[in-house]
Amino acid sequence: MALPARRHRAPAQWGDPSWPARSWDPFTEFQQLWDQMGRLFEQGAEIDTAAWRPVAETEETSEAYMVRAELPGLRRDEINVEVEGNELRVSGEVSEEERGPKLKRRTGAFVYRTILPSDADLDKVGCELSDGVLTVRVPKTEQGRSRRISIKG
């Protein structure tokens, strides 16, 4: 004996395999928005979309702030290091060379910007280029340096 056929079905509910696959997921949408905002903040206020940003790291010691940027194959005269207000800016341009087979690397203008803390001594900024790594050292002012205070008692 055959079972009777079901004529209508109860409406699908969330979690049911027949639930429409194209339903709105607010968490996925929020994650996409978060990723887009992160990319915007990484680009910073840089309007020029043709400029790229070199890989850089920052470090704070008790004496100074350090910024190291990877700029392989560049000479000192191809890199500009400027301090304007409390902003440190490293910029320049990498031109393409014609030397036969080689690894591809980024070419064109580059810029790296960072805001320096208020205790940075902007008059004593120094930089050095060694083995394709630019190191910028920004010393701290005397007021900004930490010091140990003894406890009496």
Dump pLDDT digits (tens) for 120-143. Answer: 998 999 999 999 999 999 999 887
CA dihedral (145, 88, 42, 44) positive or negative: positive
Q: What is the CA radius of gyration of the chain?
A: 28
Say whether pLDDT at 24 is over 80. Answer: no
The answer to whether position 75 is within a domain reads yes
Segments forming the whole domain that contains residue 133: 52-96+107-145
If one counts the domains in the chain, the total is 1
The answer to whether position 150 is within a domain reads no
H/E run at residue 108: strand 108-115
pLDDT of residue 10: 57
Q: What is the CATH number of the domain that holds 115?
A: 2.60.40.790
Q: Is the Cβ–Cβ distance between 140 and 121 less than 8 Å?
A: yes
**Cα gap 149→143, rounded to integer Å:** 14
The answer to whether position 22 is within a domain reads no
**Cα gap 141→151, rounded to integer Å:** 25
